[in-house]
Amino acid sequence: MLRLFPKRRLLTQRAVCSIQRASFSTTFIRWNESKPEAASSQSAPRKKRPLSRIPIGGTSTQQQKLKETNLEFASWKAALLMIAVGGGLWYFFTSEKKRIQVQQDAEANRGYGKPLVGGPFNLVDTEGKPFTEQNLKGKFSILYFGFTHCPDICPDELDKLGLWLDMLKKEGYKLQPIFITCDPARDSPEVVKEYLSDFHPDIIGLTGTYEQVKDCCKQYRVYFSTPPNVKPGQDYLVDHSIFFYLMDSDGEFIDAMGRNYDNETGPERIKEQIDAFVPKAEREKKKTSGWSLW
Amino acid sequence: MGLFSSSSDTATVAPNRSKRQVCWDARDEYLNCLEKNNVLNPFEDKYSSVIKKECAQQEKEFESKCVKSWVHYFKEKYVVDLKRERFLKDMEAQGGQQLPFPIDKK
């Protein structure tokens, strides 16, 4: 239809111009003559719509109307949906963020990759039975390195530990307390047993050969030094690091607690760590599922 | 406590709680005496005459109730503790403030 007008104009020009093109023009005239009736009936409504929008063979305007109503219906529902989904997501993310923050703190203390503190060791308890890192699994443990001839710090710390253990036990927290001697030359299982009888009955005493104890102390980054060339029966002191090592139920290191923890902050710290603990298997699962990205 | 003093050089079994307490009591007596007489370091020769004069009895008691290594350790500790105490007092006098330990990393 759009073509019609310029061609009609062309025709009028050409009719005046030459006879040679008369044959050409006649066709245009015929075109022009035949079309006006059809054009007059159809061109008016068609003009409003761009050509491309009318599907070939498909004329039903009803269908288009249906689509329009669909669109209107979706707009208010979409708003509702957006509020519902958006609100839900917002709640999910904020709560998840908090939870993950606590876990990340624990993870940071645990260290990435291979644990820096702790590892396999091979010692014997006061009954002479072997005790290894496997015995740390399944329960939280607190380790203390010392020696029976310790003048003042070890007994103080062990007394403190006894108090903590009672306090934690009252609140239902289970903790396996372990005393490891740094002085295997003098501290036989019997000596350790006798020594620990003065302290909390739950404390497990461990000893071993010098090499075994040295290896264990190395795993836990415990410094200890025995004077060189000690003769049997000689009186000497062992210099050693004084920390409590808190181990989780997977037998992995969580925290080292120095002498600055008193009877209030000590048990509090232990409880905090036990409460925030997520078993290793679950942590691994989290990592592979990708949730840990948050 | 004769039994313990006689084995003070060849101690293979550690002192138990009561023996420790006996030793600590004797130690406190001795260290109190040092403090009273302004002995800053029992290892220094310049104080040996004062110790002999004022704290001989306490020293004898202390050395008989504690093993040698402990006696040495407690004397060393006394020096360190005294230094620390004086340092803290000095700092406080200069208007210093003690930071919480461990220092909060956040």
Instruction: Give the relative orientation of helices B45-54 and B17-36 as an angle to the nearest 10 degrees.
Output: 110
Return all residues near B37 (Cβ < 8 A) that are at least 6 apart. Answer: B50, B51, B54, B55
Report the pLDDT averaged over residues B57-69. Answer: 89
Nearest to B32 by CA among B63, B1, B66, B78: B78
Q: Is the pLDDT of residue B81 over 60?
A: yes
Q: Find which of B4, B5, B12, B16 to mutate to test the A interface (most A CBs within 10 Å of its CB).
A: B12
Q: What is the pLDDT of residue A17?
A: 44
pLDDT one-digit tens code per residue, A213-258 = 989 998 888 888 877 777 777 788 888 888 899 998 888 888 888 8
Nearest to A28 by CA among A56, A53, A55, A4: A4
Q: What is the pLDDT of residue A89?
A: 94
Task: Determine the residue of chain B that is closest to A239 in CA distance.
Answer: B73
Helix, strand or coil for residue B56? Answer: helix
Q: Is the pLDDT of residue B66 over 50?
A: yes
Domains and CATH numbers, chain A: 4-48 (no CATH), 122-293 (3.40.30.10)
Contact across the interface for A195 and B9, Cβ inside 8 Å: no
B105, part of any domain: no
The residue range of the domain holding B47 is 2-6+16-85
Contact across the interface for A195 and B16, Cβ inside 8 Å: yes
Tell me which residues of chain B have a C-beta less than 8 Å from any C-beta of chain A: 8-17, 20, 24, 66-70, 73-74, 77, 101-102
Q: Which two tokens stand for residue B1?
A: 């406590």
pLDDT one-digit tens code per residue, A65-124 = 555 555 555 788 888 999 999 999 999 998 888 777 767 776 776 655 555 788 889 999
Please state, as a whole number, how many other Cβ atoms lie within 10 Å of the Cβ of residue A271. 15
Q: What is the pLDDT of residue A58?
A: 62
Q: How far is the C-alpha of A147 from the C-alpha of A179, rounded, in Å? A: 9
pLDDT one-digit tens code per residue, A108-133 = 766 555 557 888 899 999 998 999 99
Complex ipTM value: 0.75
B43, part of any domain: yes
The answer to whether A240 is annotated as binding is yes
Q: Using 50, 70 and 90 to split pLDDT, how confident is the model at B5?
A: very low
Residue B55 DSSP symbol: S
Contact across the interface for A155 and B13, Cβ inside 8 Å: no
Helix, strand or coil for residue A256? Answer: strand
Cβ contacts (< 8 Å) between B68 and chain A: which residues?
235
Q: How far is the C-alpha of B24 from the C-alpha of B1, rounded, in Å? A: 13
Size of interface A-B (CB pairs under 8 A): 53
Return all residues near A218 (Cβ < 8 A) that are at least 6 apart. Answer: none
Where residue A251 falls (left for φ over 0; alpha for ψ -120 to 50; beta otherwise) is left
B98, part of any domain: no
Our CA dihedral for B32, B34, B39, B44, rounded to 10 degrees, sits at -130
Report the pLDDT averaged over residues A196-208. Answer: 92
Q: State how many domains chain B has.
A: 1
In DSSP terms, A146 is beta-bridged to: A181
Give the angle B13-B18-B19 at the CA atoms, nearest 5°: 50
Q: CA of A154: how far to CAs of A180, A199, A288, A293, in Å?
A: 11, 11, 43, 43
Q: Is the pLDDT of residue A43 over 90?
A: no
B91, part of any domain: no
pLDDT higher for A292 or A277? A277
B21, part of any domain: yes
The answer to whether A150 is annotated as binding is yes
Q: How far is the C-alpha of A139 from the C-alpha of A249, rounded, in Å? A: 4
